[in-house]
Amino acid sequence: MNELVELTLAEYEEKLDKHFNHFIDELMLIRVGRANPKVIENIKVDYYGTLTPLKQTGNIIVEDARMLVVSPWDASTLKSIRSGIEAANIGVSLSDDGKIIRVSFPMLTEERRRDCCKDAKKMLEETKIVMRNARRDCLDVFKDMKKNSEISEDDMAGLEKDVQKLLDNYTAKADSSCDKKIAEIMEV
């Protein structure tokens, strides 16, 4: 196989991996009623006049199954951190003692659970679309190579199978991850 083919396949697999990892990161943001630092760590807060991700302003610790503790590095920023979390409107309740903020995650209602499952399925479908677009782009490169007689008809058929096999593997991983998340969401 020539160098351009190998490079194109490597780029394609890298894109699939990137899209899959992004999907996993997005799934982590779906709140399931348990305390998860990922839900709040990227909330932007006013930190000395600059919008800064919460994780860069202090420590976020899981205290128990339904509570996170945010310990700002500078106590004077407590109010702006609290305001930022409230503004994110993620359905949590907050309390502070002047030094730390306790973020309490309430139990999800059945309706909210179903909405979260729909969100997960929607993200899965969007990820699959992006992955299929990456497959199309990769195959377009190979079609151009075949058109220019850089690869043979047999090579093209083999490459199409390789590209599809990679897509099938990543799609199966995404499906499995989504199923696990839905099971986690529906767990009472």
Domains, the chain, ranges and CATH? 3-29+109-186 (1.10.132.20), 37-104 (3.30.1360.40)
Q: Specify the pTM.
A: 0.77
Indicate the average pLDDT of the chain.
90
Cβ-contact 31, 108 below 8 angstroms: yes
Region 56-81: mean pLDDT is 91
Q: Is 69 exposed, middle or buried (0-12, 13-18, 19+ CB in 10 A)?
A: middle
Region 6-13: mean pLDDT is 93
Q: Where residue 117 falls among pLDDT bands split at 50, 70, 90?
A: very high
pLDDT at 49 over 90: no
Q: DSSP strand E in the chain: where?
A: 44-47, 50-53, 58-64, 67-72, 93-96, 101-104
CA distance 32 to 7: 40
CA distance 157 to 38: 43
pLDDT at 102 over 90: yes
Predicted confidence at residue 188, as pLDDT, reads: 63
pLDDT at 182 over 80: yes
Region 13-27: mean pLDDT is 94
- Phi, psi torsion values for 110, nearest 5 degrees: -60, -40
Q: Where residue 1 falls among pLDDT bands split at 50, 70, 90?
A: low
Q: Is 35 exposed, middle or buried (0-12, 13-18, 19+ CB in 10 A)?
A: buried
Predicted confidence at residue 113, as pLDDT, reads: 87
Q: Where residue 92 falls among pLDDT bands split at 50, 70, 90?
A: confident
Region 104-119: mean pLDDT is 87
CA distance 156 to 164: 12
Specify the length of the chain in residues: 188
Cβ-contact 48, 24 below 8 angstroms: no
Predicted confidence at residue 166, as pLDDT, reads: 96
Give how far Cα 137 sits from Cα of 20, 27, 128, 143, 167, Å.
Answer: 17, 26, 14, 10, 13
pLDDT in tens, 151-177: 899 999 999 999 999 999 999 999 999
CA distance 114 to 185: 8
Give percent of the chain above pLDDT 70: 98
